[in-house]
Amino acid sequence: MPIDPMSIVPTRPAISTGASQGPLPGTPGSFKEFLISSMDEVNRMSQAAEAATDALAAGKTDNLAEVYSAVAQSKVAFDLMLEVRNKLVDAYNEVLRIRT
């Protein structure tokens, strides 16, 4: 049985009916909620990396690969969050420039 990829993706009608439509199922309610949950996830990764390095320093673990992986994931997540922030600031400044 072939699977049609377009039948899996939920879509909205192209023409607005005037009624307010909520978010698609399985998606965050708003961009603000998405940013907040993303920052919470970055914070969780940072705390996990810190806990892993503390455990390594205290001699509670000897798995250096796991500690390195946690620190690397935390760094990549933070760098991505920082780049998103920079793009948002750039977009905000562009809107201000257009308005004046």
pTM of the model: 0.66
Which is higher by pLDDT, 23 or 1? Answer: 23
- Alpha-carbon gap, residue 40 to 34, rounded angstroms: 10
Cα distances (Å, whole numbers) of residue 82 to 43, 79, 87: 13, 5, 9
- Alpha-carbon gap, residue 71 to 60, rounded angstroms: 17
pLDDT at residue 85 above 70? yes
**Contacting residues for 39 by C-beta, under 8 A, at least 6 apart:** 81
pLDDT of res. 16? 52
